[in-house]
Amino acid sequence: MALLNTTDWTGRIFVGAWEKGSGQTYTAVEPATGDTLAEVGQAGAGDVAEAALRAARAQRDWAATPAIERAAVLSKAAALLREHAEEIIGWVVRESGSTRLKSGIEVQASATECTEAAALASAPYGELLHSPMPRISMERRVPVGVVSVISPFNFPLILSMRSVAPALALGNAVLLKPDPRTAVCGGVVIARIFEEAGLPEGVLQMLPGGVEVGSAMIDAPAVRVVSFTGSTPAGRAIGAQAAKSLTRTHLELGGNNALIVLGDVDVEAAASCGAFGSFSHGGQVCMAVGRHLVHESIYEDYVSLLGAKADALSVGDGFREDVALGPIIDRKQLDHAKTLVDSSVAAGARLVAGGTHDGLFYRPTVLANCTSETPAYAEEVFGPVACVRSFTDVDEAVALACDSDFGLSLGVLGNDLALAMSIADRIPAGMVHINDQTFNDDPNAPFGGVGSSGSSRVGGQRANVESFTETQWLTLRAAAPTYPF
């Protein structure tokens, strides 16, 4: 039986049941063809206010549910994701412009997130403390209550599930707002999965919408944590708004990640790493390699190999063809990438490969001779664009890598591991990969950046517990003491 029978959810939001939202509807569009895939319900601010109250009521019972029962729901969700993988992959490919390879990895990673969360439900949640008083003293973690999750279009399923699954496992209720461009694979799929997994009504609610809905999800008094993945400007605005009510935020934002290529590497292997890091999913990845910093001794060889790899990659409709890259998500995003490339060439960068498009299908692009003033080098492109720049020594490479407000992911390629590690130690980054490119993810590892790339971490047992629970001090005495009052 299909998971996404459209008669169940077409034109509806999920508030424990599928109901009409107070807004209109969103049209789910296939970027590769422009075809309409479905109609998705649209929430309004009033829907969010009601959902937050409903979630707060449902959360109390859910938090009191034995951990083994919460774990069973998460395990069932993982099984359902695997059972319906082919159907879900098709939706991710068509709605987000992905390839089948990328979509398959995303579905399996989401299932693993649920499996990890199932184990999290029964993980240790406190420790005993010494006390000078005749009592038991302990520190324990308790659910925050209601968590708002605001997720992006590029990896809509996994970047929603990364926060939804651990928040639920730890006894919280969740309000989920997927990006309207991917409201089916980033929202409807998750609502249907947990509906089928037996999650109690009201514990998860899915509310597609725009800025008004996102704002209401931050301001709702019941919401105590906001987990947001998206652009740095939007993250700054969310952080400022949440601070007014002292609501905690977990912000996973943009990146302009550096890949440092030292002179002793296998240049062919290095170019393969660089191509994968820059061009996967059309570069629409916060962890994508934006800046290739290459030692001058191998610079020209690296540029030539990277350009050849870019020229060899196929671009097309990932649902109907076996391609390396699908379309850019929409015209606005394509125009952003195109403008940065065109202005970079006008400013003196050398166009080695790409720089053209057919509709939303943008060719993998390599720009050489980049400087700090090259627009596509200085900014996050969020498109399949690799900017290459040479360096003469380690100190210069470090200075170039540090010359950015972002600090998400860093890659260092080199045969001298001690040297590579010493370089990494000098560059602020939330994630570092020695002898690999910057686009990496494990479900049991903390994910996030520093500087303009965000704050806090989601992912891995320790980070998830810190993100979605509060610390409480608890003492117990055998009998009440007598005080001198």
pLDDT tens digit string along 190-241?
999 999 999 999 999 999 999 999 999 999 999 999 999 999 999 999 999 9
| pLDDT value at residue 460 | 87
Q: For 53-90, how does the pLDDT look when each residue is reduced to its tens digit (9 = 90+)?
A: 999 999 999 999 999 999 999 999 999 999 999 999 99
| pLDDT value at residue 141 | 97
Burial class (CB in 10 A: 0-12, 13-18, 19+), 209: buried
CB distance 150 to 230 below 8 Å: yes
Q: For 89-107, how does the pLDDT look when each residue is reduced to its tens digit (9 = 90+)?
A: 999 999 999 999 999 999 9
* One domain for residues 237 and 224: yes
C-alpha pair distances (Å), 442 with each of 110, 228, 235: 11, 19, 23
Nearest to 341 by CA among 367, 371, 315: 367
| pLDDT value at residue 215 | 97
Number of domains forming the structure of the chain = 2
Catalytic site residue 387? no
Nearest to 180 by CA among 22, 26, 13: 26
DSSP state of 131: -
Q: For 229-287, how does the pLDDT look when each residue is reduced to its tens digit (9 = 90+)?
A: 999 999 999 999 999 999 999 999 999 999 999 999 999 999 999 999 999 999 999 99
Which among 185, 273, 286, 387 is annotated as catalytic? 286
pTM assigned to the model = 0.95
Q: How far apart are CA 32 and CA 34, in angstroms?
A: 6
Does residue 455 carry a pLDDT above 90? no
CB distance 287 to 439 below 8 Å: yes
Burial class (CB in 10 A: 0-12, 13-18, 19+), 479: exposed
* One domain for residues 63 and 29: yes
Q: For 419-432, how does the pLDDT look when each residue is reduced to its tens digit (9 = 90+)?
A: 999 999 999 999 99
* One domain for residues 124 and 212: yes
Residue type, 95: E
Nearest to 185 by CA among 70, 255, 104, 112: 104
Does residue 440 fall inside a structural domain?
Answer: no
Does residue 339 fall inside a structural domain?
Answer: yes
* One domain for residues 371 and 249: no
Alpha carbon 447 to its chain centroid, in Å, reads 9
When the pLDDT of each residue in the chain is averaged and rounded to a whole number, the result is 96
Does residue 7 carry a pLDDT above 80? no
* One domain for residues 423 and 337: yes
Catalytic site residue 106? no
SS3 readout for 370-437: CCCCCHHHHCCCCCCEEEEEEECCHHHHHHHHHCCCEECEEEEECCCHHHHHHHHHCCCCCEEEECCC
Q: How far apart are CA 333 and CA 217, in angstroms?
A: 26
Q: Which residue has the tokens 């790339």?
A: 453
Determine how many CB atoms are found less than 10 A away from the CB of residue 301. 14
* One domain for residues 164 and 304: no
* One domain for residues 278 and 391: yes
Q: What percent of the chain has pLDDT over 90?
A: 96
**Both tokens of residue 299?**
């610079």
Who contacts 300 (Cβ-Cβ below 8 Å, separation ≥6)? none
* One domain for residues 316 and 393: yes
Q: Which residue has the tokens 């062919």?
A: 268
Which among 195, 252, 273, 387 is annotated as catalytic? 252
pLDDT confidence tier of residue 457, bands split at 50, 70 and 90: confident
Q: How far apart are CA 44 and CA 21, in angstroms?
A: 7
| pLDDT value at residue 397 | 98
**Both tokens of residue 127?**
């420790």
CATH number at residue 226: 3.40.605.10
Alpha carbon 420 to its chain centroid, in Å, reads 27
Nearest to 271 by CA among 249, 303, 295, 243: 303
Pairing of strands 36-41, 357-358: unpaired
Does residue 352 fall inside a structural domain?
Answer: yes
Q: How far apart are CA 361 and CA 314, in angstroms?
A: 10
* One domain for residues 153 and 11: yes
Does residue 393 fall inside a structural domain?
Answer: yes
CB distance 453 to 408 below 8 Å: yes
Does residue 442 fall inside a structural domain?
Answer: no
* One domain for residues 54 and 143: yes
Nearest to 142 by CA among 175, 164, 173, 170: 170
Does residue 6 carry a pLDDT above 80? no
* One domain for residues 184 and 66: yes
pLDDT confidence tier of residue 24, bands split at 50, 70 and 90: confident
pLDDT confidence tier of residue 125, bands split at 50, 70 and 90: very high
* One domain for residues 407 and 301: yes
pLDDT confidence tier of residue 288, bands split at 50, 70 and 90: very high
CATH number at residue 396: 3.40.309.10
Does residue 91 fall inside a structural domain?
Answer: yes
**Both tokens of residue 158?**
């996994």
Q: What percent of the chain has pLDDT over 70?
A: 100
Low-confidence winner among 24-28, 162-166, 300-304, 368-372 (lowest mean pLDDT): 24-28
Bridge partners for 261 per DSSP: 294, 413
Does residue 270 fall inside a structural domain?
Answer: yes
| pLDDT value at residue 1 | 75
The parent domain of residue 420 ranges over: 257-434
Does residue 52 fall inside a structural domain?
Answer: yes
